[in-house]
Chains A and B, each alone.
Chain A
């Protein structure tokens, strides 16, 4: 009897231990349902669906599209105040600068998506989706990397691009590897390569989700980047490619001028949706207190029949203008994505620069026709007056693409070409100036980045 019991108890012990030790799956179970260890194409799509299309707000805050008064300036945060007067010390010790961090987060997500894709072997039926996901990841990595280049690096000069500092190029998701800054030529090349690969992988605009890039978006971004680099022939080429794939404009006569949010989240003109980080009260439209007013010289350039005046802006009690809402739905922050109107203007500018002035005017008028009250669109003669076609195009560029984070970039580009634009602000009797090509046109790299990775700071 006793032996039997001894036997059973030994057996129970044995079985228990053997079960627990051999059943190694026991401890490999996922701890909870909200944890996703990305492993399928759908998971990759979910990673890329994250709103990682965030751009810097610094470029909007530093540009000449708005003014603030001394009182509002005084109660603003350090970065807002410093960005407004182009102070040498922009961050004043503030850490966690989203203008720098968010684009790198996008790169991190894209790299994770690419890393997961690399481990997957798609079935034949999945190949299209697989390619599209890869294209999306490459596009988003390029979009974010270019966002960093245009804010934190000197303007592109072919002669010095090999020696000018670029961005840390991150191609892998591992967070334990830190990367030093590449040169500017390599940084641009990295972005252009990604986009050119993406252009072959991405399909046409699908459905209403405009956080998701498409083939037109890659060409639109290439057009924007080549324009910025001053490579106008290539910019024109990609503008053409974009418009070949997608060229719808909205007629502003069909848009409600009384609605607080005239543009829906998805509308015909949008190619790719992105916005600035929602941090700065100087760039927040819609919510109170609105601390800024649009620059008077800018507002003066709109004529009465220009529908943009009523769609883009609202006036306060004192007749001064502030931004209504973004170009995308209810968004409070500047739209920084890609849209067809920008591509029209890129094309018009490239045409004008290459001497095809008539064609340039034709493209420009096609756009303006959708912007003015029906039948009141100015004629070519009206708009040209005594200005050159290029001057007119650039002026329209400023008016059309207002509050889209492009103006700052344009000023840098124009100055590189000798336009010699000096920015000035006056606050409480003091005048601040930013001369053309001043090193303060390049934003400093945040202190925490310098501290933890030791990359080289910009001269400012």
Chain B
């Protein structure tokens, strides 16, 4: 009921606005150039003198009034028919003063950039409107096309790393682990468990597809909205900031331009000997195995007969059983010690990467239309053999103008198709494993997870499939993972300008993406052979083999699809009169995103006929494996899932500027959604912002000769966030995998009813200053910000008698604050031009309220983000206090402040006093230093990125992971040589002695001790780009031809840790250096 009332209200409001503007229309009959007494209206457009592009937001002032150019650079301004001056001003351009005369009809004004000034995009795009920066009160970062193209990458977002102030990239490794999170964030973290990624907007609508489907060559510019005034337009999804991507468009009345881009990038093989991925040498590895063998750790394995034992353990056993002599044994072990699996991996499994990128586009326009059409092709050959990615994209963007340019119809159609492939993985190798024999043939390996050779040689009497695992054969005929994603996006908009002040627009956006992945394991793959053999039944008496799983390929198919529809109606008002400028928008939008996932596994699959033999399988039966005591079902892999997210929102925002000195702005938005399922009138969250800006340099009293421009601004307001996992109703999960041991489906109550559930809100304060000095030689933007996340959704304890021990509601809070500074200086501006840009950011957050008292210190240390402590950052790193070793090589910790070796009690202690806060796992101080030099046709730029205020936990010798179950030795260990070995060693090492059996608590104390925490501070030379621009080759002329080379991941200039570890990749291979060569041409 309440909705309907609201609906009628807003409808009334819009109609009211509409009728108002109709009357406004009727009352202002001035049209075109019709003169009226001494006054007439002058129309025209403003373009840039350098590239002829129209410029939006240029201020014009005559003695009769003021005006501003629109999106197409057009203006209409009242002037005195035959006299007076027209003042034209725009930041970054030389001001002009034009004498008005009677002959002037269609006036075209060319503005020339200020000397000594890098051209800046002066219009910020919020996705709802184009806002002249000088009127904006909020905090924006803009990345123009040139900066975006500086870096060569397939992925768009990668190009923002190190160039966007306040945008933080934390990419520790491809598959991030819980200690080294991987994400991007804007201004710290203001949520706990809800979405923490910025909202991405592409061409006016929130983007629901995969960011990798956007071809960076089709992107014109990116704007990052950071504070309340900037982001609150996006309402309940804007709490983490917004990244607005604007794609390229054509230009009216411009001859067709053709642009061609091509580049290729070569990347080195990963360095397997990196200190971040330490490995026991074969000799050390064998030493550990010998130690374990002597302790009897392999006896169970050896006795059961089928479990794989390593080649070294095989030698020890044969020696013990007197199958071989001790001198043979020594010789064979020495042979093994000479092997190095890593060198084999480097020659067979890794390769240099090669990425090729091509893009061709046509753009231009006639009198009443404009177009941009592009095609792109990316071909990536990755570091691992068989692993590749390809992307094809087509983008067509058209705009048509009707009725004297009053109506503008735009259509944008984008289609992207991506294909990827990955081959079998080579994992779990012993450090001395060989992939090839002396003849270069593929060798069978046996690993800890596999079966022993002696077992596979004999078992099944030849009636089973070959059961050997040969990694090199796997690379050729093994499992493959093929991905295929198609995405298309259609945007249409109709804009209609009623008069000089009012504009209405209707937009519709549709996106659909389907991604399919097929994990195909041919009958020759080890995966398929192993599974078929495992599920075979061998008759105990006759020895006959019955295959319960059909002999054939196993194809695991999953499909993911999403469909997103967005609609928006919007009214824009913009009017300048006298010293006043008023801009306002109001509108309403609706969004619907649906996703579908499904999966199925085909057994006995024939890739040619696509036939499968699933019908012959009894999926409900529990089969005893052909060996050992295990048993299991054959999984159907069948699954289906769908989700629907719907939003309905109203929004308005307005800004008023007086005399180009004072601006006030405000915005309000209300969102409703189906996510919470409460009565509709409780679904919404009102979000608002208010802002103020003062351009001091436009004040009459302001006379500081060396300051060109000085502006201060501040905003305050609320943005929001969504946790999609919650509902206000009693909800239960009844997914198909929830099956009791009696094969009955059950429902798991996820959420007890909580009718008061609300959206998360983030309060934002921003105070900024923009200064330009010395005729544009120096410009500075500095913003201080503070964010308070309130009503954050987090767990809170509740009396267990209710049946739930925790209850998830709006119970938590965070607070964060920081500083964003961007300083650009033109150092040299003669023949040699040299510009430097320094970015300096501080972002510190902490959890201020979290009601759930978490369990032991171990849970806090091992998953701090799931168990935040009040007063510490979300990504806090905690450790155990650590004293060192005693004279037996045992680690000494602290229990209730006292030295202790009661490892169980230390690890599970509840006393937080025993914890050490080691710092933030995400940099709190970061930024970059970018330099651009040019001389004649040459240009050179390089970027230095730095991170401070961040720590990481180094891996060391972990007694418990060193020997896994059944004596499996995990080779990735550091500090093996530094371990305590004899009394006295405790004076110079903190690495505990190896004991058998390992004590898990003792190992944890050391693995999570303060002595393994290192500062991750570092400064790195990220990249260098060298380009050469020419206008002509022989008879062929270009508008522009740029040939460039670009080197990425150059290396670390300085790091705080002494171990040579790249702290951004503490547990994985650092990004290999890449070399790119490319060409960008415009005809």
Contact = CB atoms under 8 A, between A and B. Distances in A.
A109 interface: yes
Given A16-B588, A21-B11, A36 B732 contact: yes
Contacts of A313: none
Contacts of B750: 35
Nearest to A265: B741
B811 to A, nearest CB: 14
A94 B859 CA distance: 13
Contact of B8 (A21, A78, A210, A265): A21
A455 B801 contact: yes
B855 A96 contact: yes
A93 B798 CA distance: 17
B226 to A, nearest CB: 29
Interface stretch (B93-101, B639-647, B703-711, B868-876): B639-647
B802 A5 contact: no
B730 A38 contact: yes
Interface string A148-174: 000000000000000000001010011
A140 to B, nearest CB: 12
Contacts of B724: 31
Interface string A44-60: 00110111000000000
B407 A5 contact: yes
Contact of A6 (B7, B498, B673, B747): B498
A43 B747 contact: yes
Interface stretch (B265-273, B340-348, B675-683, B693-701): B675-683
Interface in B705-739: 724, 727, 729-735
B733 A17 contact: no
Given A108-B803, A449-B799, A32 B407 contact: no
Interface string A410-438: 00000000000000000000000000000
B567 A16 contact: yes
Contact of A29 (B403, B644, B683, B743): B644
Given A27-B646, A37-B730, A17 B800 contact: no
B14 interface: yes
Contacts of B752: 108, 173, 175
Interface stretch (A7-15, A186-194, A395-403): A7-15
B648 A448 contact: no
Interface string A200-237: 00000000111110000000000000000000000000
Interface string B334-376: 0000000000000000000000000000000000000000000
B3 interface: yes
A21 B4 contact: yes
Nearest to A110: B803
Contact of B674 (A18, A21, A31, A49): A31
A453 B805 CA distance: 12
A348 to B, nearest CB: 31
Contact of A210 (B590, B683, B742, B801): B742
A105 interface: yes
A95 B732 contact: no
Given A43-B747, A104-B801, A175-B798, A17 B7 contact: yes
A34 B14 CA distance: 39
A453 B798 CA distance: 8
A101 B804 CA distance: 8
A387 interface: no
Nearest to A144: B803
Given A33-B640, A33-B641, A209 B4 contact: no
Contact of A208 (B590, B680, B742): B742
B910 interface: yes
Chain A CB within 10 Å, residue with most, of B506, B729, B735, B803: B803
A27 B673 contact: yes
Contacts of B732: 35-38, 43, 46-47
Chain B CB within 10 Å, residue with most, of A31, A46, A208: A31
B748 interface: yes
A109 B804 CA distance: 10
A338 to B, nearest CB: 16
A211 B735 CA distance: 19
B904 interface: yes
Interface in A61-110: 74-75, 77-78, 93-97, 100-101, 104-109
A13 B741 contact: no
B506 A28 contact: no
A127 to B, nearest CB: 22
B507 to A, nearest CB: 11
Interface string A117-140: 000000000000000000000000
A413 to B, nearest CB: 26
B609 interface: no
B574 interface: no
A262 interface: no
Interface string B89-115: 000000000000000000000000000
A82 to B, nearest CB: 13
Contact of A21 (B7, B734, B797, B803): B7
B52 interface: no
Chain A interface bracket (under 10, 10 to 19, 20 to 34, 35 or more): 35 or more
A211 B744 CA distance: 10
Contacts of A43: 732, 734, 747
B10 A21 contact: yes
A448 B799 contact: yes
B236 to A, nearest CB: 13
Contacts of B746: 46-47, 49-51
A20 B825 CA distance: 51
B742 A93 contact: no
Nearest to B724: A31
A30 B746 CA distance: 19
Contacts of A265: 741-742
B856 to A, nearest CB: 9
B672 interface: yes
Given A10-B18, A112-B749, A449 B740 contact: no
B804 A108 contact: yes
A5 B734 contact: no
Interface string A228-259: 00000000000000000000000000000000
Chain B CB within 10 Å, residue with most, of A29, A50, A100, A175: A175
B674 A37 contact: no
Contact of A13 (B569, B680, B801, B853): B569
Chain B CB within 10 Å, residue with most, of A1, A36, A100, A211: A36
A70 to B, nearest CB: 14
Contacts of A32: 641-644
Nearest to B407: A5
Contact of A35 (B733, B741, B804): B733
B18 A452 contact: no
Contact of B747 (A30, A50, A210, A212): A50
A398 to B, nearest CB: 28
B22 A6 contact: yes
Chain B CB within 10 Å, residue with most, of A18, A30, A51, A449: A30
B4 A38 contact: no
Contacts of A9: 494, 496, 504, 506
A278 interface: no
Contact of A173 (B673, B675, B803): B803
Contacts of B403: 1-2, 5
A30 B799 CA distance: 29
23 contacts: A5-B403, A6-B22, A16-B506, A20-B7, A20-B648, A21-B6, A24-B680, A27-B683, A37-B731, A37-B732, A47-B746, A49-B740, A50-B746, A51-B740, A51-B746, A96-B855, A108-B804, A173-B803, A210-B742, A211-B740, A329-B741, A448-B797, A449-B801
Given A36-B733, A178-B799, 15 more contacts: A5-B403, A14-B14, A22-B7, A27-B646, A28-B677, A31-B677, A33-B643, A34-B734, A35-B732, A36-B731, A104-B800, A108-B752, A266-B742, A449-B799, A452-B797
Going nearest first, the 9 A-B pairs with the smallest beta carbon separation are A108-B803, A21-B7, A32-B643, A453-B799, A49-B746, A452-B799, A46-B747, A175-B802, A209-B742
